[in-house]
């Protein structure tokens, strides 16, 4: 398939704000690639037909969002703006200075690349047609370049694509290399498109009306939307595998049954199940389970959520963002090797740092240094050792436990754990099964809550022992109680330099809540206080490389930095597109453990507004 055909799809996606329309455009694109191992070679690369790379559907599913690797894959493209600038200049003969000027004017290096190709003085002698497989393969290979000369090889590879591209193709090749697609495709849109392309056509199609459809279907001109059931099937498969190409291929080749059979696999992390917030202990007790005897209470720790995969001596540790942090936690790996008796398993828990002198937990901000650390790891692990509090077991010895009730999962956890205090132990817990009355239960919960706070932990979790695991979902079968009004995790899409003493620093930050449908961030307020000078310096250092556009002292930045913010209340306000404004927001901390898409949503802000 020629890359130009995909460029056409990008343009149509960019031209519409309607999510249903975007879904249909993608569903059409996917459905056309219905044949497994399609033989439509576009660029002579179809002979490399081993593995999923040969499957055009996988390639397209990957390219539409411009994410060349899954979050848990260790690879990164290693492509910076300056490298891209040099590549575009090399391919077109247009000077870096001119391209940079154009980039500043439009705020997008992709646009600048399109302009440079348009104005190129160079004609390539041996131009090869640009196919989607070639773009996919060339960009993925960038991650493999290592050592001396690797930067030059990356520049050459990107330049080779740009020199065979027309202006439009250059725009999207560059955006893909940089990881900024700007076509507004969130995970939800890809999910819905897969459901619409491959699942709904084969069923009675509850929301598809009377339209007779055969699989695959062309949906471009119709007003079809995917059925809830089909969407749920795709969603579940994705939450468990975090691999859209795999999910798409399975939906196409094996339908719903195949999707349902996709399970947890070692060293491929599943999304974390998340908690709902209770308005207090009583609210939590009343809503978490139909019956108090099925309620389990646990300490809520303030550390980093980790998922531990074990296969014999091989141990890997993933964060909630699905990133592999095994190298950062040698102490956790050692503790797992020593205190986990199963041959293979997947465990869920919270890693907390503690002060070796007092044995009390350190604040998360302090502990988070360990997650980012790339040098002197052993020293830092001694300074801030980690203890892991385990609270779930998702698989053991090849058996998935996702569909088992929590009480069984915990029994399996107890079986495989030889606990060691301040290394690896179960989260402090108490079942309410022995309570004779609601008052007893309440007293027990209040006492465990007080214990947790006394010990320096964050609060209390309440869980339904009869509930199955729901990866990636925020569920009422797991509730949290914390003492304060819930802070929000928001993303900075725009920033302004402060005035006066702090005028070198980006101290006025626009705060964006996530809109998952549009994969965009909608402003809900402006932050100007709560940080120390050091924090402000760090925020500035983190934001300046993300700049995409500049208007005087106001910068548009890639929405990557997630901040936790407190505030007095939420007001309705016409000032921002979201319709809400936070009153007196205050900075709490940077949330490196969250991906931008994990930020609080506009919908959540609306709920909090309704609750106050
Ligand atoms: P918060 O800021 O409250 O941690 P969050 O949005 O990061 O909120 P929530 O799902 O709301 O995440 O809260 C659950 C988080 O609390 C989990 O992701 C986990 O990291 C942490 N946690 C601490 N102790 C426990 C426990 N005993 N059981 C489950 N999760 C726990």
264-285 b/e with 16+ CB inside 10 Å = b? Answer: beeebbbbbbbbebbeebeebb
Mutate to test the pocket of ligand 1, among 278, 302, 305, 487 (most ligand atoms within 8 A of CB): 305
DSSP 8-state symbol, 324: B
* Confidence at 17, pLDDT banded by 50, 70, 90: confident
Q: Are 289 and 477 in contact (CB under 8 A)?
A: yes
Nearest-angstrom CA–CA distance, 240 and 258: 13
Give CA angle at 310 (77, 593), nearest 5°. Answer: 50
* Confidence at 36, pLDDT banded by 50, 70, 90: low
Asked whether the predicted pLDDT for residue 110 surpasses 70, the reply is: yes
Closest CA to 314 of 305, 304, 324, 302: 324
Q: Among all residues, which ones are annotated catalytic?
A: 300
How many Å separate Cα 201 from the centre of its chain?
A: 30
* Confidence at 222, pLDDT banded by 50, 70, 90: low
Q: Given this model, what pLDDT does residue 205 score? A: 37
Nearest-angstrom CA–CA distance, 477 and 405: 11
Segment 93-121 shows an average pLDDT of 92
Going through 246-398 in order, the beta strands assigned E by DSSP cover 274-277, 295-300, 304-311, 314-319, 344-353, 386-396
Give CA separation, 28 vs 21, 197, 199, in Å. 11, 7, 13
Ligand 1 geometric centre to CA of 79 (Å): 34
Asked whether the predicted pLDDT for residue 48 surpasses 70, the reply is: no
Asked whether the predicted pLDDT for residue 282 surpasses 60, the reply is: yes
Q: Given this model, what pLDDT does residue 447 score? A: 94
Bridge pairing between strands 295-300 and 554-557: unpaired
Segment 541-553 shows an average pLDDT of 90
DSSP string over 5-58: HHHHHHHHHHH---HHHHHHHHHHHHHHT-STT----SSS-TT--SSGGG-HHH
CB proximity list for 329: less than 8 A, separation 6 or greater = 306, 317, 351, 370, 381, 386
Q: Given this model, what pLDDT does residue 468 score? A: 96
Asked whether the predicted pLDDT for residue 210 surpasses 70, the reply is: no
Phi/psi for 483 (5° steps) reads: -70, -25
Tell whether residue 480 is among the known ligand binding residues: yes
pLDDT tens per residue across span 565-597: 988 789 898 889 999 999 878 899 999 999 999
Give CA separation, 515 vs 153, 196, 284, 379, 565, in Å. 38, 21, 28, 41, 18
Tell whether residue 458 is among the known ligand binding residues: no
Tell whether residue 171 is among the known ligand binding residues: no
530 vs 508: which has the higher pLDDT? 508
Phi/psi for 359 (5° steps) reads: 60, 20
* Helix (H) and strand (E) counts in the chain: 20, 20
Nearest-angstrom CA–CA distance, 396 and 345: 4
- Mean pLDDT, rounded, of the chain: 89
Residue carrying the six token digits 């304060």: 484
Nearest-angstrom CA–CA distance, 132 and 209: 35
pLDDT tens per residue across span 319-328: 999 999 999 9
Ligand 1 geometric centre to CA of 367 (Å): 16
220 vs 257: which has the higher pLDDT? 257
Q: Which of 183-192, 232-241, 413-422 has the lowest mean pLDDT?
A: 183-192
Q: Given this model, what pLDDT does residue 164 score? A: 94
Asked whether the predicted pLDDT for residue 417 surpasses 90, the reply is: yes
Give percent of the chain above pLDDT 90.
Answer: 73
Phi/psi for 272 (5° steps) reads: -80, 140
Top mean-pLDDT range of 61-70, 216-225, 308-317: 308-317
pLDDT tens per residue across span 443-453: 999 999 989 98
Q: Given this model, what pLDDT does residue 507 score? A: 94
Q: Is the CB of 274 under 6 A from ligand 1?
A: yes
Segment 148-162 shows an average pLDDT of 94
Q: Are 89 and 100 in contact (CB under 8 A)?
A: no
Give percent of the chain above pLDDT 70.
Answer: 92
Q: Is the CB of 480 under 6 A from ligand 1?
A: yes
Mutate to test the pocket of ligand 1, among 295, 306, 350 (most ligand atoms within 8 A of CB): 350
Phi/psi for 90 (5° steps) reads: -65, -40
Ligand 1 geometric centre to CA of 143 (Å): 33
* Confidence at 600, pLDDT banded by 50, 70, 90: very high
Asked whether the predicted pLDDT for residue 213 surpasses 50, the reply is: no
Looking from the CA of residue 593, the nearest atom of ligand 1 is 7
pLDDT tens per residue across span 338-382: 999 999 999 999 999 999 999 999 988 889 999 989 999 999 999
Asked whether the predicted pLDDT for residue 54 surpasses 70, the reply is: no
């Amino acid at each position: 398939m020629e890359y130009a055909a995909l460029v056409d799809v990008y343009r149509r996606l960019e031209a519409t704000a309607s999510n249903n329309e975007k879904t249909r455009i993608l569903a059409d694109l996917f459905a056309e690639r219905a044949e497994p191992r399609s033989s439509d070679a576009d660029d002579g690369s179809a002979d490399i037909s081993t593995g999923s790379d040969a499957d055009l559907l996988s390639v397209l599913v990957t390219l539409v969002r411009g994410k060349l690797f899954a979050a848990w894959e260790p690879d990164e493209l290693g492509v910076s703006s300056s490298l891209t600038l040099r590549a575009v200049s090399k391919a077109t003969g247009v000077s870096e200075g001119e391209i940079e000027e154009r980039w500043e004017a439009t705020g997008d290096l992709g646009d600048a690349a399109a302009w440079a190709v348009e104005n190129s003085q160079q004609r390539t002698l041996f131009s090869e047609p640009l196919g989607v497989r070639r773009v996919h393969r060339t960009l993925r290979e960038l991650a493999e370049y290592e050592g001396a000369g690797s930067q030059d090889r990356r520049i050459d590879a990107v330049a080779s694509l740009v020199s065979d591209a027309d202006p439009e193709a250059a725009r999207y090749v560059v955006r893909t290399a940089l990881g900024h697609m700007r076509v507004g495709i969130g995970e939800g849109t890809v999910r819905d498109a897969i459901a619409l392309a491959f699942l709904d056509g084969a069923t009675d199609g509850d929301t598809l009306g009377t339209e007779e459809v055969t699989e695959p279907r062309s949906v471009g001109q119709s007003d079809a939307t995917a059925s809830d059931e089909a969407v749920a099937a795709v969603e579940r498969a994705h939450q468990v595998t975090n691999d859209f190409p795999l999910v798409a291929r399975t939906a196409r080749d094996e339908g719903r049954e195949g999707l349902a059979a996709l399970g947890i696999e070692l060293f491929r992390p599943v999304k974390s199940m998340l908690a709902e917030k209770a308005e207090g202990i009583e609210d939590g007790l009343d809503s978490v389970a139909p019956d108090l005897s099925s309620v389990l209470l646990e300490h809520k720790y303030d550390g980093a959520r980790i998922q531990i995969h074990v296969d014999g001596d091989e141990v890997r540790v993933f964060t909630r963002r699905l990133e592999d942090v095994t190298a950062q936690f040698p102490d956790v790996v050692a503790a797992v090797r020593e205190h986990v008796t199963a041959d293979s398993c997947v465990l869920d828990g919270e890693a907390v740092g503690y002060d070796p002198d007092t044995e009390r937990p350190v604040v998360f901000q302090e502990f988070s240094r360990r997650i980012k650390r790339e040098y002197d790891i052993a020293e830092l692990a001694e300074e801030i050792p980690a203890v892991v509090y385990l609270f779930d077991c998702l698989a053991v010895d090849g058996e998935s436990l996702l569909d088992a009730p929590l009480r069984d999962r915990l029994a399996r956890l107890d079986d495989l754990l030889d606990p060691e205090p301040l290394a690896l132990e179960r989260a402090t817990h108490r079942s309410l099964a022995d309570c004779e009355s609601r008052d007893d239960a309440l007293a027990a919960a209040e006492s465990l809550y007080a214990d947790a706070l006394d010990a320096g932990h964050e609060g209390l979790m309440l869980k339904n022992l009869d509930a199955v695991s729901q990866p990636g979902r925020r569920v009422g079968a797991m509730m949290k109680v914390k003492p304060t009004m819930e802070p929000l995790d928001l993303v900075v899409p725009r920033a302004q330099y402060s005035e006066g003493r702090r005028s070198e620093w980006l101290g006025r930050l626009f705060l964006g809540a996530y809109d998952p449908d549009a994969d965009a961030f909608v402003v809900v307020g402006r932050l100007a206080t709560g940080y120390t000078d050091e924090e402000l310096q760090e925020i500035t250092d983190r934001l300046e490389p993300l700049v995409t556009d500049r208007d005087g002292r106001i910068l548009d930045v890639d929405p990557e930095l997630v901040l936790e913010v407190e505030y007095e209340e939420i007001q309705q306000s016409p000032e921002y597109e979201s319709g809400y404004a936070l009153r007196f927001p205050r900075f709490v901390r940077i949330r490196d453990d969250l991906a931008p898409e994990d930020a609080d949503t506009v919908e959540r802000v609306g709920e909090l507004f309704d609750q106050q």
